[in-house]
Amino acid sequence: MIRGIRGATTITADQEGYVLAASQKLLEEMIEKNKVDPETVASVFISVTPDISSAFPAKAIRQFENWRHVPVMCMQEIPVKDALPFCVRVMMHVNTAKPQKEIHHIYQENAVKLRPDLTMNNGS
């Protein structure tokens, strides 16, 4: 069965180093907390708010060992008024037998505001 693992983080400014460092930190925690093996990953979608254009966050995942062949796509979020700025969101589709309640969705930095109901239980 395919399950979605959600994650989000924010950066303080649109600079490549910030985008890549925050994306790497987020993805590492998503992978670690959910014990994700890249061989079980169907795809990863990464979106950014319209105020981020300095780098593709997918570049961060390419640095991980054995993730070279995992399909990754970046896209832009719709520009919703008063949306959380400088936000990177991830949806990782993983083949797993785990039930939904055992999936750890990861929210870091200011993105904890997006899903406080999930961040209280993930230890972030």
Question: Would you name the residues annotated as active-site residues?
Answer: 6, 62, 74, 77, 89, 107, 115
Sheet with 41-48, strands from edge to edge, namely 72-76, 41-48, 87-95, 2-10, 106-107
Residues 69, 61: contact at Cβ < 8 Å? no
Place of tokens 């870091």: 108
Residues 111, 6: contact at Cβ < 8 Å? no
